[in-house]
Structure 1
C-alpha cells in the first residue's frame, strides 16, 4: 500500500471513530464503487462524505467529487472532511459549497419551525441541549 493510500485510510478510520463517538454509532467506511462511488464514509446524517488527507488542498475538486457522490448515494448533501495538518479529526474542516450549505440551512430552518409548532417543549429542550454543546 502506498504512503498516500495508508494516510487516506488512517484519516477515514479516524473520522469513523470520531463519528461513532459523537454522531452515529453505525458510521462505516464504504467500499469503493468506481464510477458510481458513493463517498468514503456512510452514516454522516444526510451526507455523502468524502475524506481528504492531502498535503495540497484542492477544495473545488473535493466539493465536485462530494456532490457527485451524494447523487450516487441518494443523499441530499455532499461534503468533504479535510484533514488539518498536525491536528486530529475534531480540528479538521467540513467543506461544502455555498449552494449546498444554503440548502442545508433552509432544511434545518424548516424542520426547526415544524418541530417548534408541533412540539414546543421538545423544541425548547433540544435547542437548549445543542446550544450548550457549542
Structure 2
C-alpha cells in the first residue's frame, strides 16, 4: 500500500501483479499501477489480474500493455534459443509438451 506499493500478490513469476475485482474496469489505470509497482518490487514485468463479474478467478484476465508483452515475449524467445542451442533434447521435449497443451 502507499507510494511504494509492490503489488497485491507475490509469487507470480517475474511480475508485480495488481489484482482487481471491480464493477467498472479501467485497464489503463490498472496497467499504470502494475508497472509502477513492478519498479518498486524490482520485478521486470507488471500485470493486472482482472476478475470477471459473476465468474471464478480462473475465468478472469491477465492484462499487460503491449510494450511489456513484447519485452516478455522477447525474454521467452531468447531463453528458448539458449536452451535449444545448449540442450536441444530438453528444449524439444519442452516444446512438444507445450504444443500438446494446445490440443487440450
Normalised-by-shorter TM-score class = over 0.9
Segments of 4+ in structure 1 off by > 3 A?
none
2:70 maps to 1:102: yes
Counterpart in the other structure of 1:128: 96
Match of 2:40 in 1: 72
Question: C-alpha offsets along residues 56-109 of structure 1, whole Å, 9 cap, x if unaligned?
Answer: 000000000000000000000000000111111221000000000000001110
TM-score normalised by length of structure 1: 0.74
Number of residues of Structure 1 aligned to a counterpart in Structure 2: 102
Structure 1: runs of 5 or more not aligned: 1-31
Q: 2:51 corresponds to which residue?
A: 83
Residue ranges of structure 2 left out of the alignment (5+ in a row): none
TM-score normalized with structure 2 length: 0.94
Higher RCO, 1 vs 2 (CA within 8 Å, ≥6 residues apart): 2
Over the aligned positions, Cα root-mean-square deviation in angstroms equals 0.9
